[in-house]
Amino acid sequence: MARDYKEVAQSWLDGDFDPQTKCQILELRNNDPAGFEDAFYRNLEFGTGGLRGIMGVGTNRMNRYTVGMATQGLANYMKARLEGPLSVCISYDSRNNSKEFARITADVLSANGIHVYLWDNIRPIPLLSYSVRSKGANAGVMITASHNPKEYNGYKVFWSDGAQITSPVDKEIVAEVAKITDPSQVRFEPKEDCGGIELMGHEMDDKYFKDVLGLMLSPEARAKHSDLKIVYTPIHGSGVRIVPEALDRLGFKNVYHVPEQDISDGNFPTVMSPNPEEASALKMAIEVADREGADIVLATDPDADRVGIAVRDNEGKMVLFNGNQTGSMLTYYILRRWKELGKLDSTKYVVKTIVTTELIAQIAKSFGVKCYNVLTGFKYIAEVVKRNEGKGEFICGGEESYGFNVGEYVRDKDAPISCCMVAECAAWAAEQGLTLYQLLQKIYEEYGYRKEGLVSLVRKGKTGAEEIQQIMADMRTNAPADLAGSKVVKVVDYLDPEATGLPKSNVLQFFSEVGDVVTVRPSGTEPKIKFYFGAAGTEADEKIARLKEQFVK
């Protein structure tokens, strides 16, 4: 049955909500009918990473009440399903209201008798994941909306393995959250006999650095090329201290900053979007690199789980690597060094997502290493790691959306270790007489050239969500006969878990005779439908352009 958003809004006006919230609801109702409907027509839902939405009043917005209700649902779930003293780690990034939402989360959990380990200041997602495992906590919460625009914030729930929640836990938590229909059901104020709130700080940072930096592979190359010039920008986010300190601990002496972007500011004043996938987000860092004659640019998003890089081409111009290229290069480097160090055997493996380049699978195969293919979202990579504990060792893994991780200490994307690996890879490549750009070309020469592309169609609000679902329905009914002129020979619908061997997901893939692939999926966290294109061979660039014209009208 369709939800009457006006009745839901009226329940907020009549309910136990603060006067400021009620005034904002009335203003929205009187002056912005479309925004009023969008704010109340549904509840925020857990997608691939948890809650994420525009900040403001309403059930479909991030605010103190939706955060409190989600936390009460989480607390109820934990108390009903878990035994013994319970604990949760909480972190937050530099977004507007992140600190406030983190404190509300801590207070509600504490009021429910759950001990809280709260980071003393902004910290990246990888440190939240690491702290959950280090503290032996039952769960973790990260307040962030990743690389979304400044209007957004979010609430990511992690489980005891340090990974984001997956089915059935996510659905069970959502069911508990749905039972919380009024703020009067939320315990916002801790009492003296409730669970405590304990701050975490530099001591936990040091543990993280010790473990994660212990995964590095080429100390001699780092020492010899410690003068590499590196520009780093956190794009106003939580990597501002962690990444430079990690690079310093590895011995890199020439790390340049972008002072304007070292300011932790949730308005992200120097960029249109704090997303390292977008060239404009790296513009200021590249200007610093050109001024200082730097070799590499590294940029991380607000919660410092993704990294974008730029390197110098053969003409000395800064060029951007996409997530597939960075992931392929790092996978090659890490496997090459593991082989040289005698660390490879049949129990070692890498993981990638279904929309990530097949080049990673080719590289793994050439080194005799198994490559798992999983659904989009790093939590599915973490599921493989958890499933293989005691049976195999995770080397590294990544996804095309600029996320990569190394080792098992962190169970999510880890931009600090990725930045360190890029820098070390550059030092190792320099020992071979290569730049990072030349190393990537060498990989293409060995494995064959591949090109990937991505187009995201943004469709906001209720009508946008309906349009996205109609696009998926139409593609299921009328699958394309060819991809850029090559016959489609296989269609994979991930709504059928028996056919794919993976959890049910609203994703379609089309494969052509010549090995090109197109994947279509709605985003789980943003109002978008995404088209992923992959092509192989010398004509790959031209084929990607044709595929974009074919699918995106």
- Residues serving a catalytic function are 146
Rounded to whole angstroms, the Cα distance separating 191 from 112 reads 9
> Do residues 43 and 146 make contact, with C-beta atoms less than 8 angstroms apart?
no
Give the whole-angstrom CA distance, residue 35 versus residue 130: 39
Q: What would the two tokens of residue 247 be?
A: 């690079």
Question: For residues 341 and 537, what is the distance between their CA atoms, to the nearest angstrom?
Answer: 33
| Integer angstrom CA distances of residue 543 from 313, 326, 453 | 23, 22, 10
Nearest residue to 413 via CA among 127, 149, 132: 127
Q: Which DSSP string corresponds to 338-389?
A: HHHTT---TTEEEEEETTS-THHHHHHHHTT-EEEEE-SSHHHHHHHHHHTT
| Degrees, nearest 5: CA angle 472-166-69 | 95
Single-letter code of the amino acid located at 338: W
**Burial (0-12, 13-18, 19+ Cβ within 10 Å), 184:** exposed
Rounded to a whole number of angstroms, the CA Rg of the chain reads 23
Give the integer Cα–Cα distance in Å for 61 and 153. 9
Amino acid identity for residue 275 in this structure: N
On the CB side of 129, how many CA atoms lie within 13 Å of its CA? Answer: 27
Q: What are 345's two structure tokens?
A: 């055997």
Closest alpha carbon to 294 in 279, 302, 282: 282
Structure tokens at 246: 């990690």
CA distance 42 to 235: 32
- SS3 of 11, please? helix
- Angle of the 415-431 helix axis to the 242-249 helix axis, nearest 10: 30
Burial of 548 (0-12, 13-18, 19+ CB in 10 A): middle
Q: Residue-wise over 389-420: b if at least 16 C-beta within 10 A, else e? A: eeebbbbbbbbbbbbbbbbbbbbbbbbbbbbb
For residues 153 and 150, give the distance between their C-alpha atoms in angstroms, rounded to a whole number: 8
